[in-house]
Chains A and B, each alone.
Chain A
Amino acid sequence: MTEPTNAPEDNALRALYASHRDEPDAALDARILAAARDAAAQPPRRKWRYPVGVGAAASALLAVVLMLQTPQSTDELRPLGQSSNEFTGKLDAPRRAPASAVAETPAALPVSAETIAEPASVGRQAEERIAAVVKDSGAEDMVVGSSVPEELAAAAPTVAQESRPAKASLAKLESRLEASVASGRAMLTAETHREIELAAADRAPVSEACRASEHVATDGVALCIDDHQIQVHDAGGCDEVLTLERTTLGTVTLAREDDWIVILIDDARIWRVRCAANAWQVEALR
């Protein structure tokens, strides 16, 4: 027997063990050899190692291509701590509002607590986001127009002062929003990939050229929003349609400040545009 020590007594055991060798029966041998001959007569099975490898590589490539072509999630573009559900929940508020409550022109909207309570949350959130971005970009003065409408100015101080939650009380913000809604200057927030729910008066077709599913119109200015661009139409001023390109998919937030339209895209870019003397003025604030 084999053992690392290889002692003589182990060799004796090995010899004893090897003295008799059992073998399988001839019938068993015949069965196995017959199976071997049958198998040899058939062509060998194709080896799948290489095709499987090629298939796996092709699958990985396809996955990468699909991943690159898939639009970025809007969650990635939101501020930290703000989930998609949280944001959608706030947007849901105006969707539940009865159409009759907002069917008339914004200026004619009743300024009641029931009408304003939920849109106010949307407007406040959008306004805070814009104000924060504007503040970060150091462009506060540009956003705050020099000629604030009387009704807005009377209701509240400037946006720059009120957009700092630390300094402005909630009551002041709400009162200013009430005034904004009453004057037709309420914030409008649109999200791509979701049907925007605005009042019927605000959903007038922008133009025949606008084929996007989302468009908003307010104060004579209409916006056509799709995944690639935002077209701005000014019915009372510029004949030309202003086109702003979008590089990401996510939330588009709009605000009116005097005759300026402030457009925040995906918390990343912010424009301020207005039509003056039949020409568009565009300022990229960030």
Chain B
Amino acid sequence: MTDDTMSAGAFAIAAIDAGGSNDDALMVAYCNGHAASFENLYRRHKGAVYRFFLRQMPKCDAEECHHEVWIKVIKGRSSYEPRGSFVPWLFTIAHRVLTDRHRSAMRRPIVAIDNDPDLLPSSNPGPEDATDQARKLNQLHALIAELPITQREALLLREEAGLSLAEIAAVTSTAEEGVKSRLRYAMQKLRAGMSP
């Protein structure tokens, strides 16, 4: 390890210890060759990215998209500008990957969801685990999967990535009011679907 990478790593660790917004520091450290900083970043955000895709497509596709997003992060590290917006940047990449996937899916033959077990929600518990909680969760995931694409994406960016309305608007290139409407309609449908 060179002096540069050591100092970059030390900077990243100091930033983490400070407890502030340190995604930027980790990314900068990784850009300077500190691989451990990327592992830190990955551990923090891998679940959000993965579930962002998993709620919108079959598991195998979600894994492909998840992999694609992180490879783009790795390759695009030199273009990253540390301005305290790592998560919006990360989910902007995810949004583009998702959009590309939707486009290519439109060109592929449609597979009936009933005939493809891979398209069922991934957290569908088996009959032996079907507690009430799991049944409700399964129902919630199914309702999310049935939402219109734009509403579903806005909801997941809010819930998984924790983005603000303005950030969701920026990531999806939509007006903030439009994002608010999408979230409102999505929640109405989920509430209606979950009510007994």
Question: Which residues on A are within 8 Å of B, measured CB to CB?
Answer: 1-5, 9-10, 13-14, 16-17, 19-25, 28-29, 31-33, 35-37, 39-41, 43-47
Contact = CB atoms under 8 A, between A and B. Distances in A.
A118 B8 CA distance: 85
Contacts of A21: 47, 51
Contacts of A46: 78
Interface in B141-161: 155, 158-159
A29 B140 contact: no
B86 interface: no
A40 B71 contact: no
CB-CB nearest 4 A-B residue pairs: A40-B35, A36-B38, A3-B187, A24-B50
A2 B39 contact: no
B44 interface: no
Given A22-B54, A40-B33, A44-B33, A4 B180 contact: yes
A17 B159 contact: yes
B76 to A, nearest CB: 10
Given A36-B35, A39-B75, A43-B33, 10 more contacts: A2-B159, A16-B140, A17-B137, A20-B134, A23-B47, A25-B63, A32-B71, A32-B74, A35-B70, A35-B74
Interface residues of B, number: 41
Nearest to B31: A44
Given A2-B158, A13-B190, A35 B63 contact: no
Contacts of B32: 44
B30 interface: yes
B78 A45 contact: yes
B34 interface: yes
Nearest to A28: B63
B74 A47 contact: no
B46 interface: yes
B137 A20 contact: yes
